[in-house]
Amino acid sequence: MSSMNSNGKPNIVFIVSDQHRGDFMGCAGNRVVLTPNLDRLAEGGVQFTQAYCNSPLCVPSRMSMLTGRYPHQTGVFGNSDHLASDIPTFVHGLALGGYETVLCGRMHFVGPDQRHGYKHRLVGDITPTYLGGPSTKYGALKGTSGQGLRSIETAGPGSSPVQQYDEQVTQSFERFAASRDGSGTDQPLFITVGLYGPHHPFISPQVNYEQAVRAMADGDAPITLDSLPRHPWHENWFSRLKAEQITPEQLTEARANYIGLVNRLDELVGRIVKAAEALPGDTWIVYVSDHGEMAGDKGMFWKRSFYDGALRIPMIWHPLRHGGPGGIVRGAKVDTPVSLIDLAPTFLQATQSPVPSFLAGNDLSPLLYGRGIEGTVWENMPPVYSELLTPQDSAIRMVRQGDNKLIYYHNYLPVQLFDLRTDPHETTNLAESDEYLGLVQKLKGLALQDWDPDALIASSLRRHEDQAFIAKWGKKVGPDWHEVWNPEDPGGNDPVFETQREIAGAKEGQQ
């Protein structure tokens, strides 16, 4: 296999953004966003055009990605849920396989275990790391990172803690990569560079905002509301979040700033890739996001929706130096539906690292190396699932098989069925036609297979009582700024964070 170090394994720079929808890239056919760096990664590697998150919410999506298991298998459904420390992640496997594992920035771990297989951390997180714990201070932008009208009403060009955070994460990686150049280590590196953009608040740098406004004037067309009656679950969503109050002008402004944030994200990706060129040995760049963003389509923003705007994410694998026979192919677009849980088996199998006893995902190596069916649906791939269970949202599960996508809303009728080949904007619910009754029953059966929504809801409600109790402890007794990035202390002087010098010193002590 090419693209390897002398020890037979490539460095892997795993870039994970937050809330970047899969079709907001130039390489995905979008002419409103400006993403030359991501486009170059796709041109020189493998782009999965139909990649999905396994939950349209940060923590459950990320924990599924790391474990290769669905939310109902990890027990992580909401942003307050902890991933149990005895559930292995692919990071554990990579470390057992000889990798130095480093986390630089965001991963949205909740609870005392802020590693889950990572040995070092360079920058803390921007969200609370334990229930009741402190959050990064947003000042006048307080409350704009959540779902609600405030994030729409405050949209506009400017600066925000999100931009400051991502800048520090990027600079930290740049310094780290430079420090390894010529270091003489033969240990392969797996480093996750966790960015918070393009997550709201919808505040983008002035230059990126102006880029977005110009591009939108030349032909941006948000997907309009369906001509059919709105689904009952969406009626409740609009009412609960007061999204009906979003004016057309506010929608356009928030959308422009989201596009500006995507443009800014692409600039940071370019810097990360350039810095990665200094790493000794061969290197892979892998880029994904944890979920998408509705960005004004159908009058909706944020996540927690099962339309493709919130569910589909970018997934790009790029060999930084090599490629060709035996390695990651260049310039391939793979239309096979895949999801984030497929990363765990792919990382472990591709690096010949130990694999946990149970993974629900699938190894994508044949598609990466060109031994699968490029550009088409891989016949042996099983359905793709995404699920969500919170007190506000009930229990929802999506199943996609081929071009067909079904969404099951527990205690809400009807189900939704879309043919994404003929109806990519999901405007026509085929489940309302008798012609598709058989397909609806088949896909609904898949959605409910080994997935008991009533039992999951009961278990979740019991857990929320415990979480409320722990949150009281966190507010009164908790360990203060435990691995949380504080913009008032941008140097990251909390002793829990390891500096480059400390990591280098630890290595010298081991030699």
What would the pLDDT profile of 456-474 be if each residue is shown by its tens digit?
A: 988 888 888 899 999 999 8
Across the range 54-59, mean pLDDT stands at 97
**pLDDT for the residue 499:** 37
> Residue 340 has which token pair?
């984030």
Residue span of the structural domain in which 118 resides: 29-83+97-383
Q: What are phi and psi of 407, to 5 degrees?
A: -120, 125
pLDDT above 70 for 3: no
The tally of domains found in the chain comes to 1
Contact 81, 459 (CB under 8 A): no
**pLDDT for the residue 160:** 93
pTM: 0.92
Contact 16, 3 (CB under 8 A): no
Classified as helix, coil or strand, 192 is strand
What does the longest C-alpha to C-alpha distance in the chain come to? 70
| Residue 13 is assigned to a structural domain of this protein | no
d(CA 41, CA 285): 8
CATH of the domain at 321: 3.40.720.10
| Residue 213 is assigned to a structural domain of this protein | yes
Q: How confident is the model at residue 326 (pLDDT cuts 50, 70, 90)?
A: low
**pLDDT for the residue 506:** 42
* pLDDT top residue among 158 and 226: 158
Paired residues of 389 in beta bridges = 395
**pLDDT for the residue 510:** 37
- Chain mean position to CA 240: 25
Residue 289 is which amino acid?
A: S
pLDDT above 70 for 390: yes
| Residue 324 is assigned to a structural domain of this protein | yes
| Residue 390 is assigned to a structural domain of this protein | no
User: What is the rounded average pLDDT for all residues in the chain?
Assistant: 88
| Residue 460 is assigned to a structural domain of this protein | no
| Residue 481 is assigned to a structural domain of this protein | no
* DSSP run (H or E) holding 46: strand 46-48
**pLDDT tens-place string over residues 333-389:** 999 899 999 999 999 999 999 999 999 999 999 889 886 555 444 556 789 999 999
| Residue 441 is assigned to a structural domain of this protein | no
Across the range 31-56, mean pLDDT stands at 96
Q: How confident is the model at residue 40 (pLDDT cuts 50, 70, 90)?
A: very high
Q: Which of 142, 81, 144 is nearest to 108 (CA)?
A: 81
| Residue 421 is assigned to a structural domain of this protein | no
pLDDT above 70 for 492: no
pLDDT above 70 for 504: no
Classified as helix, coil or strand, 360 is coil
